[in-house]
């Protein structure tokens, strides 16, 4: 698949996934310290105001052609409707670059495999055939195989870079730091359409 995409410059191979950016729990990190200064984990649960989000959800697409990450944070949690909005946005970004197809590799999360998302992708591809744009070809990963998705290590390194061991970051600060780490502009959060 990777060689196939590489032989067509108008195609993009993309590794898609979502992750949660915790405001309370630091990612698994190793730390060295001198014997007199022992490093301790802090319990941050009481540092949040009542009703504040403990974590922020984020969609990402790691591009095989540039190695860059397309990033969108989410209002709430990942659901089918927001997945559709993310795919539509990715299609617009790639179409603006003259791309014609996205070979999307992702896992079997419920909001990827739902009938609603599958129907949306089918409708989208029919529209692309008629009016142009970026066709989406989904390549499913085997169940419980995150190591096959190249975006996973990117998430881990980003979380380690953004972590603040002695404080709870505001949601906006988490978004700002994550976008700065991945050299991506801060964009409005994706959200479900209000009926």
pLDDT computed for residue 145 by the predictor: 83
Residue 40 pLDDT exceeds 80: no
* Domain ranges across the chain: 2-22+49-181
Closest CA to 182 of 96, 84, 73: 73
Residue 47 pLDDT exceeds 70: no
Mean predicted lDDT score pLDDT of the chain: 85
Question: Confidence class of residue 32 from pLDDT cuts 50, 70 and 90?
Answer: low
Domain 2-22+49-181 top-level CATH class = alpha beta
pLDDT in tens, 128-187: 999 999 999 999 888 888 888 999 999 999 988 888 777 778 888 889 999 999 999 999
In contact, 137 and 103? CB cutoff 8 Å? yes
Least confident of 31-35, 126-130, 187-191: 31-35
pLDDT computed for residue 194 by the predictor: 47
Structure-block tokens of residue 185: 């502009």
């Amino acid at each position: 698949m990777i060689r196939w995409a590489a032989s067509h410059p108008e195609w993009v191979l993309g590794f898609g996934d979502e992750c949660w950016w915790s405001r309370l729990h630091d990612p698994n990190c190793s730390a060295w310290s001198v014997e007199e200064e022992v490093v301790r984990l802090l319990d941050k649960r009481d540092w949040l105001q009542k009703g504040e989000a403990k974590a922020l959800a984020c969609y990402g697409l790691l591009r095989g052609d540039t190695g860059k990450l397309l990033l969108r944070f989410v209002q709430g949690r990942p659901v089918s409707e927001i997945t559709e909005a993310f795919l539509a946005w990715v299609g617009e970004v790639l179409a603006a670059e003259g791309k014609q197809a996205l070979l999307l590799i992702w896992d079997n999360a419920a909001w990827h495999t739902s009938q609603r998302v599958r129907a949306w992708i089918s409708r989208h591809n029919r529209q692309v055939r008629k009016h142009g744009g970026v066709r989406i070809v989904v390549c499913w990963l085997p169940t419980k195989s995150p190591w096959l998705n190249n975006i996973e290590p990117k998430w881990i390194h980003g979380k380690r870079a953004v972590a603040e061991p002695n404080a709870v970051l505001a949601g906006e600060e988490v978004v700002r730091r994550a976008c700065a780490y991945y050299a991506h502009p801060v964009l409005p959060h994706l959200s479900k359409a209000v009926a």
